[in-house]
A and B are shown apart, each in its own frame.
Chain A
């Protein structure tokens, strides 16, 4: 059995395998498939509760993943942010010596969540400029016309 604690290296290796098999486009197509088939809980929470649903979704996920983060929800100003200070996934990949992480690994967080949230009327941004330190910032804003 591949333990869920070993999933991240398996996930990264999957991206590398797909890329070698059929190119980067195939990796992105898989991310889109995964967004459609794996993130129903985020989709449901965000649909029902808006930004508070995002807060609830990531409250569970980031605690289970033992991340170091600061998460902020400001419903009055239509703003939700995750300041990821130590991403457990990227952090694990950076520590591995026996395998090379997929170079575009962190891009999956852009494709997967954007694809769920933007059709629901949110603006989704992710700053991937510090992923070499296992850090990033995700910002979700409620579009003014959806207030």
Chain B
């Protein structure tokens, strides 16, 4: 029985630990069970307002382009079946998700999905748009696949 040794540097690997989706799902389940849906909404809003503040600032200054790049970047890493569609005039952006990579990973592990998982789109996207000329809407969410349309549009457009 010898000694096994593994030595790695950060640059040896790509940062992609999909089980973190499972941990977030468990965190949402725990928060709802113990503190209610409003706590889940408050948590996601607080996190998103802080963490995405550089993105929010970029949207204020440059419109929807930085948001499009953001989604292109994360779905390129995560995979999934997703279409990112900006309107011709640049005033609307649709993220059309046919299969959510986060939900797919959670379901593949056999875990129950939080009934509030859609708030990771709805509340987070609303928080990203806070204080910008744009608003976010979650359209046609399918809880079984995570299929949905995440729409960003000018506040005066509806």
Stretch from A2-10, A115-123, A125-133, A139-147 at the B interface: A2-10
Q: Once the chains bind, are B16 and A98 in contact (CB under 8 Å)?
A: no
Question: What is the CA–CA distance of A3 and B101 in the complex, to the nearest angstrom?
Answer: 9
Write out, one digit per residue, whether chain A residues 53-65 have a CB within 8 A of any chain B CB (1) or not (0).
Answer: 0010001011111
Tell me the residues in window 87-104 of chain A with beta carbons closer than 8 Å to chain B beta carbons.
88, 96, 98-99
Question: What is the CA–CA distance of A65 and B53 in the complex, to the nearest angstrom?
Answer: 24
Q: Once the chains bind, are A17 and B46 in contact (CB under 8 Å)?
A: yes
Q: Once the chains bind, are A10 and B24 in contact (CB under 8 Å)?
A: yes
Question: What is the CA–CA distance of A38 and B106 in the complex, to the nearest angstrom?
Answer: 11
Q: A72-B4, A98-B53 are in contact. Are A7 and B47 (CB under 8 A)?
A: no
Q: Once the chains bind, are B51 and A68 in contact (CB under 8 Å)?
A: no
Stretch from B7-15, B60-68, B129-137 at the A interface: B7-15
B78 within 8 A of A: yes
Classify the interface of chain A: helix, strand, loop or mixed. Answer: helix
A75 within 8 A of B: yes
Minimum C-beta distance from A142 to chain B (A): 12
A71 within 8 A of B: yes
Classify the interface of chain B: helix, strand, loop or mixed. Answer: helix
Question: What is the CA–CA distance of A99 and B27 in the complex, to the nearest angstrom?
Answer: 20
User: Which single member of A38, A62, A74 contacts B3 (CB below 8 Å)?
Assistant: A74
Q: A17-B42, A63-B8 are in contact. Are A5 and B15 (CB under 8 A)?
A: yes
Residues of A within 8 A of B19 (CB): 4, 38, 61, 64
Interface residues, chain A, CB within 8 Å of chain B?
1-11, 13-14, 17-18, 21-22, 26, 30, 33-34, 37-38, 55, 59, 61-76, 86, 88, 96, 98-99
26 contacts between A and B (CB under 8 A): A1-B75, A1-B102, A1-B120, A1-B121, A4-B17, A4-B21, A4-B102, A5-B15, A5-B16, A5-B77, A7-B21, A7-B23, A11-B23, A13-B47, A26-B34, A30-B27, A34-B30, A62-B8, A64-B13, A65-B13, A66-B10, A66-B11, A68-B9, A68-B10, A70-B7, A98-B51
